[in-house]
DNA sequence: GGTCGGAACT
DNA sequence: GAGTTCCGAC
């Protein structure tokens, strides 16, 4: 039984990892066991014990299953389908309101569903180590585009990077007319989030929302896109659509770009955003989470400082800014939000999180508070050491590796079964890398493949499957 | 139509 | 506190 539970320790983490990556669903006792609900942990462990004799986990590819995680729904496809059939409420007349009836928008906006996990919860993997007696909440790193080396290095690196200001932004900002703002500076949040900060309501701040969109293949680059991802510069390709989505998220049906833009402008004062002058609808994050997921082809080719990472061709031609909001309809109909594992900025250590602004405070340079427009120019450092991998090659989740690290830190004698499992998984990753390197001739990051992990009598069997995306075949 | 920031408001 | 709404000016 101990071995079984230890295997579950690994399987739980693996399952969580895969679910966040949107590649799997879990059913059976493990699905419950891997719930992030701490309250239910003990109860579910009992369920686990009762079901250990039966096949404990089914891991399989689920199209768009990450949408479930994104919206905090249970990882059941049937549930998904039901949800996808839901019609967004508040349909209004007029062409611009077409999007209001779109299904996927609600999915996006269900990010703050009361049923959804808090961001904190989503980013913690709960490991139950029977021999330790208590549930251990292990901070996990969600990093989709990373190399193994980067992952290792990341564990001791700051979670936010301060972004460089483009040269165009070095121009002194024109002095605004009128009096100096008497509005008190809202204190820039500290670099460390208190756990549970987002648990109430799960409402995203606007900057978080934008980052979410920038990591969503359906929104980026269609409605919002990077124009220079290394500098954190993005453009609201379809400002109306973005504002509409924001309004939907905030339950403000009258939201428009003018209003949303005011909120964005307040970010100037707080050092969260900069305006890229001379370019309409173009803003810059003062800093970005290091676990940003950059969607392939979401960056303007002409604006890239570094083209090494741009072998990807945009999947779709970016629309014009005045693109009909009907386009948003197609987006929302097909909207598959990114898996939680790719959620930005919320790379939680045990009790920390951060806003871009707060991260900046930890960088050399002017304080983010009370900065003059000229002071807003962010002191940049290159992102060469970033976790963000420059090439979009097969990857392995950092969470997975973290899990392996956690497992491997255990005592061999006490957790032999866990060790064996970790070794098995580790060797699987190595084989993936070797195969990929042979195929591409490049240094390759690892991608965790969909795996089938039936538990039989306390032993883990891992079968890899062909990865339909990479074209690489594994044993 | 985008941008800006003050002011009052939620 | 973090926007939202409205506004006049550019």
pLDDT (0 to 100) of residue A351: 35
Whether any strand C atom is under 7 angstroms from the Cβ of A189: the reply reads yes
Task: Decide: CB of A175 under 7 A of nucleic strand C.
Answer: no
Nucleotide nearest to A276 (CA to C1'): B3
Residue closest to sugar C1' of B5 by CA: A181
Task: Determine the protein residue whose CA lies at the shortest distance from the C1' of B6.
Answer: A181
Instruction: Give the residue nearest to nucleotide B7 (CA to C1').
Output: A183
Which residue's CA lies closest to nucleotide B4 at its C1' atom?
A176
Residue A82 DSSP SS3: helix
User: Is there a contact between A455 and A52 (Cβ–Cβ < 8 Å)?
Assistant: yes
Q: Does any strand C atom come closer than 7 Å to the Cβ of A207?
A: yes
Assigned fold of A206-285:
Arc Repressor Mutant, subunit A (1.10.10)
Give the distance, in angstroms, between residue A177 CA and nucleotide C9 C1'. 9
How many CA atoms does the CB half-sphere of A303 hold within 13 Å? 21
How many Cβ atoms from other residues are within 10 Å of residue A251's Cβ?
A: 11
CB A414 within 8 A of CB A426: no
**What's the start-to-end Cα distance of chain A, in Å?**
30
Residue the block writes with tokens 């508040």 = A90
- pTM (two decimals): 0.42
Estimate in Å the CA A409 to C1' B8 gap, whole number. 57
Report the nearest residue to nucleotide C2, CA vs C1': A205
State which nucleotides on strand C lie below 7 Å from a protein beta carbon: 1-7, 9-10
**Looking at the C1' of nucleotide C10, which residue has the nearest alpha carbon?**
A177
A248: CB within 7 A of chain C nucleic strand: no
Q: How far is the CA of A236 from the C1' of C3 (A)?
A: 19
Q: Determine the protein residue whose CA lies at the shortest distance from the C1' of C4.
A: A259
Protein CA A182 to sugar C1' B7 (Å): 10
CA of A184 to C1' of B8 (A): 14
Collapsing DSSP to helix, strand or coil, A32 comes out as helix
Sort strands A459-460 and A282-285 into parallel, antiparallel or unpaired.
unpaired
For residues A287 and A359, is the Cβ–Cβ distance under 8 A? yes
- How many Cα atoms sit within 13 Å of A13 on the Cβ side? 32
Q: Is any atom of nucleic acid chain C found less than 7 Å from the CB of residue A255?
A: yes
Nucleotides of B under 7 A from a protein CB: 1-7
Q: What is the pLDDT of residue A204?
A: 87
pLDDT of residue A368: 39
State whether the beta carbon of A265 lies below 7 angstroms from any atom of strand B: yes
| Residues 147-176 of A, Cβ under 7 A from nucleic strand B | 173, 176
Give the closest nucleotide to A183 (alpha carbon vs C1'): B6
User: Tell me, what DSSP letter sits at residue A410?
Assistant: S
The nucleotide minimizing the C1' distance to residue A184's CA is C1
Give the CA-to-C1' distance from A392 to B1 in angstroms. Answer: 37
Residue A275's nearest nucleotide, by CA–C1', is B3
Q: How far is CA A325 from CA A52, A86, A240, A330, in A?
A: 51, 20, 8, 9
What Å value separates CA A378 and C1' B5?
A: 21
Instruction: Give A422 CA → C2 C1' in Å.
Output: 44
Smallest CA–C1' separation from A176: which nucleotide? B4
A368 CA from C9 C1′ (Å) = 27
A268 touches strand C (CB under 7 A): no
DSSP assignment of A178-203: SPPP-SPPPPPPPSSPPTTTTTTTTP
Reading chain A (475 residues) residue by residue, the pLDDT tens digits are 444 444 433 333 334 433 444 333 333 333 333 333 333 333 444 444 444 434 333 333 333 333 333 333 333 333 333 333 333 333 333 344 444 334 344 444 444 333 333 333 333 333 333 333 333 333 333 333 333 333 333 333 335 666 655 444 344 433 333 333 333 333 333 323 233 333 345 678 999 999 999 998 889 889 999 999 889 999 999 999 999 999 999 999 999 999 999 999 999 999 999 999 899 999 999 887 777 778 766 666 544 444 333 333 333 444 444 444 555 555 544 333 333 333 333 333 333 334 444 434 333 333 334 444 434 433 333 333 232 223 232 233 334 434 444 444 444 444 444 444 444 444 444 454 454 445 444 443 333 333 333 333 333 333 333 333 333 333 3
């Amino acid at each position: 039984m101990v071995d079984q539970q230890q295997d579950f320790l690994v399987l739980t983490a693996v399952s969580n990892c895969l679910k966040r990556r949107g590649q799997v669903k879990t059913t059976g006792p493990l699905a419950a066991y891997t719930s992030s609900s701490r309250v239910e942990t003990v109860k579910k462990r009992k369920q686990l014990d009762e079901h250990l004799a039966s096949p404990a986990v089914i891991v399989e590819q689920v199209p768009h299953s990450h949408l479930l995680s994104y919206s905090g729904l249970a990882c059941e496809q049937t549930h998904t389908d039901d949800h996808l059939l839901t019609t967004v409420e508040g349909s209004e007349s007029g062409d611009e309101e077409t999007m209001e009836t779109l299904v996927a928008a609600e999915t996006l906006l269900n990010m703050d569903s009361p049923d959804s996990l808090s961001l904190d919860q989503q980013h913690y993997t709960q490991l139950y180590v029977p021999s330790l007696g208590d549930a251990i909440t292990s901070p996990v790193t969600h990093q989709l585009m990373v190399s193994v080396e980067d992952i290792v290095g990341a564990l001791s690196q700051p979670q936010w990077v301060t972004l460089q200001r483009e040269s165009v932004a070095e121009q002194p900002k024109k002095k605004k007319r009128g009096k100096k703002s008497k509005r008190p500076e809202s204190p820039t949040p500290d670099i460390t989030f208190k756990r549970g900060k987002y648990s109430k309501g799960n409402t995203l701040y606007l900057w978080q929302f934008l980052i979410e969109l920038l990591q969503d293949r359906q929104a980026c680059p269609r409605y919002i896109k990077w124009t220079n991802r290394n500098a954190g510069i993005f453009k609201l390709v379809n400002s109306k659509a973005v504002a509409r989505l924001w309004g939907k998220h905030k339950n403000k049906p009258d939201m428009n770009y003018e209003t949303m833009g005011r909120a964005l402008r307040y970010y100037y004062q707080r050092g969260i955003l900069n305006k890229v002058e001379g370019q309409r609808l173009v803003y810059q994050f003062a800093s970005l989470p290091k676990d940003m997921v950059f969607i392939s082809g979401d960056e303007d080719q002409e604006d890239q400082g570094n083209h090494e990472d741009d072998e990807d061709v945009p999947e779709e031609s970016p629309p014009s800014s005045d693109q009909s909001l009907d386009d948003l309809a197609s987006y929302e109909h097909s909207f598959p939000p990114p898996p939680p594992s790719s959620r930005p900025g919320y790379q939680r250590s045990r009790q920390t999180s951060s806003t871009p602004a707060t991260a900046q405070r930890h960088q050399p340079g002017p304080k983010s508070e009370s900065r003059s427009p000229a002071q807003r120019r962010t002191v940049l450092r290159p992102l060469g050491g970033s976790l963000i991998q420059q090439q979009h090659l097969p990857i392995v989740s950092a969470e997975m590796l973290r899990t392996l690290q956690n497992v491997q830190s255990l005592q061999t004698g006490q957790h032999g079964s866990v060790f064996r499992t970790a070794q098995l998984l580790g060797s699987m990753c190595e084989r993936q890398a070797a195969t990929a390197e042979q195929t591409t001739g490049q240094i390759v990051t690892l991608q965790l493949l969909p795996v089938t992990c039936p538990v039989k009598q306390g032993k883990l069997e891992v079968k890899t499957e062909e990865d339909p995306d990479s074209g690489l075949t594994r044993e």
